[in-house]
Amino acid sequence: MEEQFLEKGDFVRIDGINAVVVGTDEDDNIPEDHIAVFFGSEIAKRESEGGEGNDRPLVWIVPIDLCEDGLEPEYREE
């Protein structure tokens, strides 16, 4: 098995798109040399503002080879 260099919570880029690692090949249902990533949710109106919020998160399982180092995040406060 190839050395695992990505951990849950790491930011990565896949084809120029930011994603967060949410699963590794050490987890059930993730094949060897793959990771699970979350690209984020579509903009939705908050329930507290009368909206319906978001659907459940969509997570993609991709080969590690497609991943590039992630960018440092920009932090904001609400």
| Domains of the chain by residue range | 11-66
Please give the structure tokens belonging to residue 77. 């406060």
With bands split at pLDDT 50, 70 and 90, how would you rate the model's confidence at 2?
A: very low
| Phi, psi (deg, nearest 5) at residue 9 | 95, -15
pLDDT tens digits, residue range 26-53?
999 999 999 999 999 877 788 898 888 8
Beta bridge partners of residue 13, listed in sequence order = 18, 68
pTM passes above 0.75: yes
